């Protein structure tokens, strides 16, 4: 299964249109809405975790959105886990909305799956040993 987190920016002329639901209908893509907001000017953004059976299905869905005027980019920040200072207390797993952080049993080890991470930053605020951090990456447009 191919999965990617993307940031969609909607200009005013398409912010009120039902474009995202077409990803399921036309391109057989599943998605989770991780965050969304429309401003007073009717511009909007949405952070989606798009899931697909193939990279080509994902690319077709992204092309559809771009053709409709939606800007599609990848997150500019990424979360990292410092294995050397993590105490495996599990506090981060309690707040992670995407299960990117989970406890491996019976070892009781905290595992971080960056591919599932929505970059919500809740783990950073929660981690008592400060093992979770944020680093900057350039914002990339999705081709």
Distance CA 116, CA 34 (A): 11
Nearest to 50 by CA among 21, 71, 76, 79: 21
At 74 the pLDDT is 78
Query: How many residues are given for the chain?
Result: 143
Taking domain 77-136, whether its CATH number is 3.40.50.10310 is answered by no
At 48 the pLDDT is 85
Instruction: Please state the pTM of the whole predicted model.
Output: 0.59
CATH of domain 2-73: 3.30.70.260
At 88 the pLDDT is 96
40's CB contacts (< 8 A; 6+ apart) are none
| Contact of 138 with 73, CB cutoff 8 Å | no
At 137 the pLDDT is 57
Per domain, the residue ranges of the chain are 2-73, 77-136
pLDDT mean by block of 10 residues, the chain; 143 residues = 80 85 89 78 80 81 93 82 94 91 95 84 91 70 54
At 139 the pLDDT is 46
């Amino acid at each position: 299964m191919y999965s990617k987190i993307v940031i969609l920016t909607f200009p005013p002329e398409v912010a009120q249109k039902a474009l995202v639901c077409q990803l399921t209908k036309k391109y057989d893509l599943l998605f989770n809405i991780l965050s969304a907001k429309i401003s007073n000017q009717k511009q909007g953004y949405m952070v989606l975790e798009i899931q697909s059976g193939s990279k080509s299905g994902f690319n077709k869905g992204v092309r559809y959105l771009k053709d409709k005027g939606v800007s599609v980019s990848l997150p500019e920040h990424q979360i990292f886990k410092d294995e050397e200072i993590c105490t495996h207390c599990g506090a981060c797993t309690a707040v992670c909305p995407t299960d990117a952080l989970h406890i491996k049993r019976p070892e009781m080890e905290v595992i971080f799956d960056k591919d599932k991470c929505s970059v919500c930053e809740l783990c950073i605020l929660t981690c008592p040993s400060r093992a979770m951090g944020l680093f900057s990456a350039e914002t990339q447009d999705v081709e």
